[in-house]
């Protein structure tokens, strides 16, 4: 049995995902039911065995590890002096919202999108201005309406755009051309562009992931890219992220924001675990991706043959699958509550991601394939009962 086929019981740990009833199967929040890479565990053990845990700050080896990863995995080496450490991608986003925009400004997003973007914007007294992604009902794909995006960026009180690349929850990675267009529009209208690339390592085949910082120099001076080993290596509770800001003045501002909020100091495991991830865990990631591809194919076939009223929309990114359930309901929230009550399957309702999310469900398939199968059987049963 492969390492990604092992069912590791997580009930009774402090896992948010698994804080559910004994008959329930959680396939919602974005963490994986897999153990992290051996090299990361080894680095953590060595650190714990050392036993002295005073205040820390990342040194050159940390930043070199990040640069090395992007160079070897994604063919784009960010300068180490562009980087800032932060205790998470969401904390970095909130710090940027606070420091880079003003109360009452618009922050442009593309709904349906990761719901916490809305919290970071609205909890800080800014307005969400969405240039909704355009859904093609026939092809089951999403696209950017660049005309609409430009109109929204051109609004004088739009000062920041938060992009999700690859895009959670729709499972799509943006092409280099699309990134160039987005970045050019932001530059034209004096909007700072923050690209959340936490899912960047989880892209399967083509089109490949293009880090925003790999665009030509002139197109990255108003950009901030956030990356982290958290999704790729299942270390969300590590609370480690790197913020990449090529322009010195902007970087100073972002650094001030991170440090004002006291988000710049790593916990005792963040540095060794990140270095081990980025320098020794590429093979593990390849094996993980093979498992995720297998799970995606399993889901695609199951849905097509056994739940034909549901369509799989996700393209080639993330382990979060986006299902069109518009033939079943226009109230995804109601459907997820019903499915959970009837079958114990706990999915995310698309509604929280706004836009046309009320017609969609999101399922996390980063778990052993037999758990995915269990989830799909429950989904089928839940949908059939709901239709009655
Ligand atoms: C797009 C996106 N950004 C950020 C996060 C969370 O980042 P962090 O845990 O580093 O704050 C998630 C988690 O699901 C996510 O999907």
Please tell me the distance between residue 162's alpha carbon and the centre of ligand 1 in angstroms: 13
pLDDT 10s digits, 126-175: 999 999 999 999 999 999 999 999 999 999 999 999 999 999 999 999 99
Ligand 1 atom with least separation from CA of 90: 11
**Residues in CB range of 11: below 8 A, 6 or more apart:** 18, 20, 22
How close is the Cα of 305 to the center of ligand 1, in Å? 33
* Closest ligand 1 atom, residue 239 Cα: 10
C-beta separation of 45 from 268 below 8 A: no
Quote the CA–CA distance of 252 and 270 in Å, as a whole number: 23
In degrees and rounded to multiples of 5, residue 120 shows phi and psi of -60, -35
**Helix (H) / strand (E) containing 260:** helix 248-260
Residue 106: strand pairing partners: 127, 158
CB 170 within 8 A of CB 322: yes
- Closest ligand 1 atom to the C-alpha of 113? 1
Distance (Å) of CA 369 to CA 8, 149, 307: 13, 39, 18
- Distance, in Å, from the CA atom of 269 to the CA atom of 277, rounded to the nearest integer, reads 12
**How far apart are the CA of 231 and the centre of ligand 1, in A?**
8
Domains of the chain in start order, with CATH, are 3-38+282-387 (3.90.1150.10), 52-280 (3.40.640.10)
Ligand 1 center to 198 CA (angstroms): 6
| 289 CA to centre of own chain | 15
* Residue list, ligand 1 pocket, CB within 6 Å: 30, 88-90, 114, 164, 168, 196, 198, 228, 230, 236, 241
Distance CA 86, CA 84 (A): 7
Instruction: Give CA torsion, residues 102, 106, 108, 112, to 10 deg.
Output: 120
Give the model confidence (pLDDT) of 161-217 as tens digits: 999 999 999 999 999 999 999 999 999 999 999 999 999 999 999 999 999 999 999
CA angle 329–333–334, rounded 5-degree value: 65
Question: Which of residues 261 and 297 earns the better pLDDT score?
Answer: 297
Ligand 1 atom nearest residue 29's Cα: 14
C-alpha–C-alpha distance, residues 388 and 340, integer Å: 16
User: Which of 204, 210, 266, 196 lies closest to 235, judged by CA?
Assistant: 266
Residue 224 DSSP class: E
CA 297 vs CA 200, 201, 204: distances in Å: 20, 19, 12
3-state secondary structure of 378: helix
Percent of the chain with pLDDT over 70: 100
| Nearest ligand 1 atom, CA 241 | 10
Give 322: exposed, middle or buried? Use CB within 10 Å, 0-12, 13-18, 19+: buried
Rounded to the nearest angstrom, the distance between the alpha carbon of 236 and the centre of ligand 1 is 8
Distance 239 CA to ligand 1 centre (A): 10
Q: Could you tell me the distance, in angstroms and rounded to a whole number, from the CA of residue 227 to the centre of ligand 1? A: 9
Helix (H), strand (E) at residue 298: helix 282-306
What is the DSSP annotation of 102-156?
A: -TT-EEEE-SS--HHHHHHHHTTTPEEEE-PPEEETTTTEEE--HHHHHHHHHST
Atom number of ligand 1 nearest to Cα 240: 10
pLDDT of 253 over the 90 cut = yes
Choose the residue to mutate in 230, 258, 274 for probing ligand 1, maximizing ligand atoms within 8 Å of C-beta. Answer: 230
Closest ligand 1 atom to Cα of 228? 10
Residue 40 to residues 50, 203, 271, 277, 281, Cα–Cα distance (Å):
16, 21, 10, 6, 8
> Apex CA 3: angle with CA 47 and CA 63, to 5°?
40
Q: Is the pLDDT score of 1 beyond 80?
A: no
Cα 137 to ligand 1 centre (Å): 28
Mutation pick for ligand 1 pocket among 30, 85, 86, 89 (CB with most ligand atoms within 8 Å): 89
Nearest CA to ligand 1 atom 14: 30
Q: How confident is the model at residue 273 (pLDDT cuts 50, 70, 90)?
A: very high
What is the helix (H) or strand (E) element at residue 290, kind and residue range?
helix 282-306
Q: What percent of the chain has pLDDT over 90?
A: 99
Take atom 7 of ligand 1 and give the residue whose Cα is closest.
89
Cα 241 to ligand 1 centre (Å): 10
| CA dihedral (180, 182, 185, 189) positive or negative | negative
Mean pLDDT value of segment 101-123:
98
User: Closest ligand 1 atom, CA of 89?
Assistant: 10
Which residues are CB-contacts of 52 (< 8 A; sequence separation ≥ 6)?
none
Q: Report the relative pairing of strands 345-346 and 25-26 from DSSP bridges.
A: parallel
Q: Are 345 and 367 in contact (CB under 8 A)?
A: no
> Cis (ω within 30 of 0) for the bond into 169?
yes
Q: Ligand 1 center to residue 189 CA distance, Å?
A: 27
Distance 127 CA to ligand 1 centre (A): 21
Q: Is 348 helix (H, G, I), strand (E, B) or coil?
A: strand
Mean pLDDT of the chain: 98
């Amino acid at each position: 049995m492969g390492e990604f086929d092992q069912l590791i019981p997580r009930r009774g740990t402090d896992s948010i995902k698994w804080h559910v009833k004994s008959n329930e199967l959680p396939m919602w929040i974005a963490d994986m039911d897999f153990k992290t890479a051996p090299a990361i565990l080894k680095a953590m053990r060595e650190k714990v065995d050392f036993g002295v845990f005073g205040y820390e700050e990342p040194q050159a080896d940390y930043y070199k590890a990040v640069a090395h990863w992007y160079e070897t995995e994604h063919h784009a080496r960010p300068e180490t002096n562009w980087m800032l450490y932060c205790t998470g991608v969401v904390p970095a986003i909130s710090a940027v919202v606070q420091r880079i925009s003003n109360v009452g400004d618009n922050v442009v997003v593309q709904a349906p999108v990761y719901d916490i973007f809305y919290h970071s914007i609205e909890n800080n007294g800014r307005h969400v201005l969405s240039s909704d992604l355009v859904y093609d009902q026939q092809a089951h794909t999403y696209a950017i309406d660049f005309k609409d995006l430009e109109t929204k960026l051109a609004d004088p009180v739009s000062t920041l755009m938060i992009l999700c690349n690859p895009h959670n929850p729709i499972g799509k990675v943006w092409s280099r051309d699309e990134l160039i267009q987005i970045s050019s529009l932001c530059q034209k209208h004096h909007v700072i562009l923050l690209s959340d690339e936490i899912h960047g390592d989880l892209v399967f085949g083509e089109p490949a992931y293009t880090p925003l910082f790999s665009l030509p120099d002139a197109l990255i001076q108003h950009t901030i890219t956030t990356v982290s080993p958290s999704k790729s290596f299942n270390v969300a509770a590590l609370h480690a992220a790197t913020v990449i800001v090529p322009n010195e003045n902007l970087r100073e501002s972002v650094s001030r924001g991170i440090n004002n909020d006291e988000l710049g100091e790593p916990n005792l495991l963040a540095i060794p675990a990140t270095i081990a991830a980025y320098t020794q865990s590429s093979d593990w990631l390849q094996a993980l991706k093979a498992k995720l591809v297998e799970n995606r194919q399993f889901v695609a076939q199951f849905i097509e043959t056994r739940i034909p009223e549901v369509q799989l929309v996700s393209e080639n990114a993330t382990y979060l699958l986006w299902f069109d359930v518009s033939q079943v309901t226009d109230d995804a929230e109601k459907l997820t509550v019903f499915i959970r009550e009837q079958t114990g399957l706990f999915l995310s309702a698309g509604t929280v991601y706004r836009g046309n999310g009320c017609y969609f469900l999101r399922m996390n398939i980063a778990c052993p394939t037999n758990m995915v199968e269990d989830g799909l059987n429950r989904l089928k049963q839940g949908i059939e009962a709901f239709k009655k």
